[in-house]
Amino acid sequence: MLKLKYLLLMLIPLCVLNPVLAQQVKVSASLERDSIWLGDQIRMILVAEYPEGVKLTFPEPKDSLGYGVEVLSRSARDSSRIGGGLIQMRQSYVITAFDSGPHPIKPFLFAGQANNRADTVRSNALSLFVKVPDVDLKKGFADIKKPYKAPVTFKEVAPWILGIILIASIVFLILYAINRRRKNIPLFTMPAKPKLPPHVVALSELDKLKEEQLWQQDKVKDYYTRLTDIIRTYLEERYEVPAMEQTTQEILSQFKGETTQIKGKLYSGLQKTLDIADLVKFAKSTPLPDENHFVMVHAYSLVEETKPETLETVKKQTLPNTETSVEKIISGPNEIEKQS
């Protein structure tokens, strides 16, 4: 009896204080719609509003809410301040039911605690009606319909497209590399420099050769080898004849006749130059200094007088005395500077 008295004395403050906490905390449960088709899905939302000092425990529904209502998924809890020192917390659930008819959903219990005081608050109860489509039995049974084909979206196809492009690129690169290797061409090449006109290259090479003074140092064979290479390269580039792969006689036969640009003195000079060069290169001949000088003069003349017409015209306008310019170029490097 004494124990019962103590118990009652302890419950009295709770009975007085609990309604106060319940008034401050508001909870509700709601459905998007009251009814659904059999197997359809619907969202159920639980909302609780409570003062900041209150520690509220949300209900944790299991997979089933009873009476055939199933929970398919649940969202994360979301809390926000709504003013007046209140916090709103909400959580949504996707539910469904596979039995027709009304399905009551019991109220949800929210446990609250503040200043060592505890209480539970109930939400409202819900009712979900599950509808079944009307079936006209008179029409007889229909075949089972095949699943609908959902349209393919870009998101689904994109990885495949990217994969195919990637594989195709790799295959292309491998084939490209093999092909380049077969042809003995490096895989990556720098863009080619713009090609200088053949006469510019030839004149520059002749200037270099003259400055090196090879025959004056008894390097006559090197001198003639370089000189004939310059002339042959020039002829090859200028007239598109394979002069580097041709013998002296073959080169000369290419330019034989009056119709070519190399005729008269130019032709005989070319013939003499190549003949002397052959003797030096292949027969250990040592030409006279005059001959060494002659072949250089002739090489300059050949290049100067067979330059493309357009450049020739420009040159004539700027340097009217072409013949003397060649002679002065030959006579020494100082003269070149004077001319320029």
Residues lying near other proteins in the complex (CB under 8 A): 182-184, 225, 242, 244-249, 278, 281-285
Instruction: Output the smallest distance, CB 323 to other proteins, in A.
Output: 32
Instruction: Output the smallest distance, CB 159 to other proteins, in A.
Output: 41
The phi and psi torsions of 78 (rounded to 5 degrees) equal -125, 125
Instruction: Output the smallest distance, CB 306 to other proteins, in A.
Output: 21
Residues 6+ apart with CB under 8 A from 115: 53
Question: 232 or 307: whose CB is closer to other proteins?
Answer: 232
Question: 122 or 281: whose CB is closer to other proteins?
Answer: 281
Q: How many CB atoms are located within 10 Å of the residue 336 CB? A: 16
Instruction: Output the smallest distance, CB 283 to other proteins, in A.
Output: 4
Question: 149 or 182: whose CB is closer to other proteins?
Answer: 182
Q: Rounded to an integer, what distance in angstroms lies between the CA atom of residue 139 and that of residue 100?
A: 23
Q: List, in sequence order, every beta strand (DSSP E) within the chain.
A: 26-31, 35-37, 41-51, 55-57, 64-66, 69-74, 78-83, 86-97, 101-105, 109-114, 117-122, 126-131
Strands 35-37 and 126-131: parallel
Tell me how far CA of residue 5 lies from CA of 2, 18, 51, 138, in angstroms.
Answer: 5, 20, 34, 73
Instruction: Output the smallest distance, CB 163 to other proteins, in A.
Output: 36
Instruction: Output the smallest distance, CB 279 to other proteins, in A.
Output: 8
Question: 46 or 280: whose CB is closer to other proteins?
Answer: 280
Residues 6+ apart with CB under 8 A from 113: 54, 55, 56, 57, 119
Question: 179 or 217: whose CB is closer to other proteins?
Answer: 179
Closest CA to 325 of 335, 312, 314, 313: 335
Question: 89 or 241: whose CB is closer to other proteins?
Answer: 241
Question: 246 or 261: whose CB is closer to other proteins?
Answer: 246
Question: 137 or 283: whose CB is closer to other proteins?
Answer: 283
The phi and psi torsions of 2 (rounded to 5 degrees) equal -65, -35
Instruction: Output the smallest distance, CB 273 to other proteins, in A.
Output: 15
Residues 6+ apart with CB under 8 A from 94: 41, 42, 43, 44, 71, 72, 73, 74
Alpha helices by DSSP H, 80-182: 154-182
Question: What element of type H or E holds 311?
Answer: helix 309-318
Instruction: Output the smallest distance, CB 245 to other proteins, in A.
Output: 6
